C-alpha cells in the first residue's frame, strides 16, 4: 500500500467522495467515527445539498461521485453527528 502524501493529512481537499468525506469529518473532529456508509445514510437527510434538484451536483471523477468540500462541511456543521446511528438494539453477547 502506498504511503499517503503528508500534505493530504493537513490540507482540506477541494472535493471529497463518501469515503474521503467520512475520513475528513473524523480528522476535523466533526465526528468521533464515520464510514462512507454513514455519510451515504446521512445523504438521505432532506437538507442534503447534493444531487439532482439540489444546489450542488455530484461530479463523477474516476468512477466515483465527488462533492465540493465546502458545502459538504457546511452541512455537517449545521447538522452535527452526535453518536450512534439509528440501530439502537442491544449488542449480541459473544460466545452465545
Question: 31 and 39 in contact (C-beta within 8 Å)?
Answer: no
The whole-number pLDDT of residue 52 equals 93
d(CA 96, CA 93): 6
Instruction: Tell me what pLDDT residue 10 has.
Output: 84
Res 26 pLDDT > 70: yes
pLDDT tops 70 at residue 85 = no
Q: Which three cell numbers stand for residue 8?
A: 493530504
Where does the pLDDT of residue 84 fall: very low under 50, low under 70, confident under 90, or very high at 90 and above?
A: low
Of the pLDDT bands very low, low, confident and very high (cuts 50, 70, 90), residue 79 is very high
For 6, which DSSP code? G
Residue 50: C-alpha distances to residues 46, 59, 65, 84 (Å): 10, 10, 10, 23
Distance CA 60, CA 94 (A): 42
Amino acid at each position: 500500500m502506498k504511503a499517503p502524501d503528508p500534505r493530504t493529512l493537513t490540507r482540506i481537499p477541494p472535493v471529497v467522495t463518501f469515503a474521503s468525506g467520512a475520513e475528513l469529518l473524523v480528522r476535523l473532529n466533526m465526528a468521533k467515527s464515520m464510514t462512507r456508509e454513514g455519510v451515504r445514510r446521512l445523504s438521505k437527510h432532506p437538507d442534503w445539498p447534493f444531487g439532482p434538484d439540489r444546489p450542488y451536483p455530484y461530479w463523477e471523477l474516476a468512477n466515483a461521485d465527488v462533492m465540493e468540500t465546502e458545502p459538504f462541511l457546511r452541512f455537517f456543521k449545521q447538522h452535527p453527528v452526535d453518536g450512534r446511528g439509528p440501530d439502537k438494539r442491544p449488542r449480541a453477547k459473544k460466545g452465545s
